[in-house]
Amino acid sequence: MPITEFLERNAKIYPDDVALVEINPENQPHKTATWKEYSLIETAIGGKYRREMTWKEFDTKANRFANLLMTREVKKGDKVAILMMNCLEWLPVYFGILKTGALAVPMNYRYSASEILYCADLADVKMMIFGPEFISRVNEVKDQMVKITDFFFVGKPEETPEYALNYDRITRYCSTTCPPVEIRDEDDGAIYFSSGTTGFPKAILHRHRALVSSCYTEQHHHSQTKDDVFLCIPPLYHTGAKMHWFGSLLTGGKAVILRGVSPEWIFETVSRERATIVWLLVPWAQDILDAIDRGDLKLEDYQLSQWRLMHIGAQPVPQSLIKRWKKIFPHHEYDTNYGLSESIGPGCVHLGVENIDHVGAIGKAGYLWETKIVDENGIIVDPGTVGELAVKGPGVMKAYYKNPEATEEILKGEWLLTGDMAREDEDGFIWLVDRKKDVIISGGENLYPVEIEDFMRTNDKLSDVAVIGLPDKRLGEIAAAIIQLKEGMTCTEEEMNEFLLGLPRYKRPRKLIFADVPRNPTGKIEKPKLREIYGSVRLVEAQNQA
């Protein structure tokens, strides 16, 4: 059963129920209004601040786009790229592509023009649909995209580039009937791109069965029902946000796409839309707690009682953060989700809401998944021993598209090597230690940055921290901590070194750098960027020591 049939089923069973809502704070004409006052100004908003779509409208729009693509000679197995910010059109476009039997190819909205060109060429993209934010970048490279036959533009008709067709204008004349294309579980369904932490991204090829399996995994983990309202904030191009939303697709529940990450807007939207499930990234959760501590957010100003589940994924979650959260929101269920794009996103490992006593662990094998921790020879290690985490399940990628060498490195039969170093405790819970490539070898000792970062985040003055390895003539590498302080806080290097006495001597960072910590749209620390910024400086220092 292809995932498109879930949409068609919902359109038949719940035609008039709201499927998707888009909230765009930038379009709100009364930005000082509270959620309690919204009903008084709804008519003034005129649909620009808040837009919604029923399940019937969702399916109809997907069918219209699918039929448009087929009139432009898109066929089964072709690739269609999506380069759009989160918006109400995003998911109907995605499902329209799938309904043709073509592969959806979502692109990171932070890609530069050269990265857009590279990924489009790598994935053999035949057509591209893009939003107004990307006009200049697409303009820059469109003539080099020789494989692309058509461009579609989602935006105001008058802003449509001359080489593109306007999505709204042209789809309104397309058939609303579902295309008669047979889609099987083993057919290719989508190409996602890796985070590009080792250079340009790899193209990750997934079958339709992986998309379907993520629906069942998500719903099973978080017990989503028709009555749940899922607040989606992270970018839809990433497997994380979309695969969490797949739980709503399976149950027919409403989802809200929020185009803003400020604590105030998150709380406003939870209140107005009666959100029950919210998926946050670590920085956003941290911002919420800090805003509450400062008094900028007052819980009594919002309707939060229906909010039942807060879950976090995409990066290691500090135990101190969840302890703070549970003090303020003791009624919230909490879950953390681990995954990677190669495993169709979140869910191959998850903590489980019933295991709050194991906060800090990423959990156990997710629904429909298996896990093991292995050494460099692929042999399972003893509990407590650090090794590489491997996962097996229906969401494992088919391959890195057009890259058999890279595929062979991480696919071992049905098992996927994650590149993450982990250990399993006596209760069977998995604790993430660090990325394999981020391990610092200093004087023969293995240092795991995540362990050091977790300790440093217990310092109340820190907003964020990243630990990286820098070259050193004597030790090979040393640990360096990039420290981002909370707004208004001050801290000297001497103070921080005194705090670090709580760590074993060999784990203490030997270099402290007070600066901002960059994170990508999914919340992961951009350590390659930090190594590029600070590594070259340290290399010169090391060479000068010689």
pLDDT, tens digit (0-9, with 9 covering 90-100), for 153-190: 999 999 999 999 999 999 999 999 999 999 999 999 99
Give the per-residue pLDDT at 198: 45
Q: What is the mean pLDDT of the chain?
A: 89
- 379 pLDDT more than 80: yes
Residue 460 lies in a domain: yes
Q: Count the Cβ atoms, other than its own, within 10 Å of residue 7.
A: 24
Position 539 scores a pLDDT of: 45
The average pLDDT across 299-325 equals 86
Pick the range with the lowest mean pLDDT from 59-63, 164-168, 359-363, 536-540. Answer: 536-540
Query: What percent of the chain clears pLDDT 90, i.e. is strictly above it?
Result: 66
Taking every pair of C-alpha atoms in the chain, what is the biggest distance, in angstroms? 73
What pLDDT score does 320 carry? 81
At residue 83, the pLDDT reads 97
Question: Under a CB-based contact definition with an 8 Å cutoff, are residues 419 and 437 in contact?
Answer: yes
Q: What pLDDT score was predicted for residue 544?
A: 45
Whether residue 526 lies inside any domain: the answer is yes
For residue 65, pLDDT beyond 70: yes
The helix-helix angle for 4-13 and 55-71 (nearest 10°) equals: 140
Cβ-based neighbour number of residue 442 at 10 Å? 19
State the pLDDT at residue 316: 66
pLDDT at site 240: 80
The pairing of strands 188-193 and 229-232 is unpaired
Kindly report the CATH number assigned to the domain that includes residue 520.
3.30.300.30
Residue 454 has pLDDT above 80, yes or no: yes
Average pLDDT of the residues in 469-486? 85
Cα–Cα dist 102/70, whole Å: 10
Cα 472 to chain centroid, rounded: 34
For β-strands 333-340 and 309-313, DSSP reports them as parallel
Residue 203 has pLDDT above 90, yes or no: yes
Beta strands at 164-166 and 188-193: parallel, antiparallel or unpaired: unpaired
Residue of 317 and 195 predicted with greater confidence = 317
420 pLDDT band, cuts 50/70/90, is: confident
Instruction: Provide the domain count of the chain.
Output: 1
The model's confidence at residue 197, banded by pLDDT at 50, 70 and 90, is very low
Do 102 and 123 contact (CB within 8 A), yes or no? no
Residue 196 has pLDDT above 80, yes or no: no
Could you list the residue range(s) of the whole structural domain that residue 538 is in? 443-545
What does the pLDDT average to over 40-45? 40
Give CA–CA dist 234/237, Å, rounded.
9
Model pLDDT for residues 256-288, shown as the tens digit of each residue: 999 988 999 999 999 999 999 999 887 788 889
- Is 540 contained in some domain? yes
Flag whether 455 is in a domain.
yes
**pLDDT on residue 182:** 95
Contacts for 287 with CB less than 8 Å, ≥ 6 apart = 261, 262, 263
pLDDT band at 29 (very low <50, low <70, confident <90, very high): low
pLDDT confidence of residue 457: 87
Q: Which two tokens stand for residue 435?
A: 């990325």
Contacts of 132 (CB under 8 A, 6+ apart): 153, 154, 155, 156, 159
Model confidence band, residue 28 (pLDDT cutoffs 50, 70, 90): low
| Tens digit of each residue's pLDDT (9 = 90 or more) over 431-442 | 987 677 777 877
Residue 313 CA to residue 147 CA, distance in Å, equals 36
Residue 41 in domain: no
Residue 449's pLDDT is: 84
pLDDT average, residue stretch 297-316: 88
Maximum average pLDDT range among 311-320, 452-461, 515-524: 452-461
**What is the Cα–Cα distance from 193 to 270, expressed in whole angstroms?**
31
| pLDDT on residue 545 | 44
380-402 pLDDT, tens digit per residue, is 999 999 899 999 999 999 999 99
- For residue 37, the model assigns a pLDDT of 52
In a domain, 310, yes or no: no
> Is residue 483 one of the residues assigned to a domain?
yes
Predicted confidence at residue 526, as pLDDT, reads 81
Whether residue 86 is predicted with pLDDT greater than 60 in this model: the reply is: yes
Q: What is the pLDDT of residue 315?
A: 64
More confident residue, 125 or 450: 125
In 136-265 the beta strands, taken as DSSP E runs, fall at: 150-153, 164-166, 188-193, 203-207, 229-232, 254-258
> Cβ neighbours of residue 283 under 8 Å, at least 6 residues apart?
464, 519, 523
Confidence of residue 317 (pLDDT cuts 50, 70, 90): confident
For residue 40, pLDDT over 50 is answered with no
Q: What pLDDT sits at residue 494?
A: 92
62 within a domain of the structure (yes/no): no
3-state secondary structure 496-522: HHHHHHHCCHHHCCCEEEECCCCECCC
Residue 485 DSSP class: E
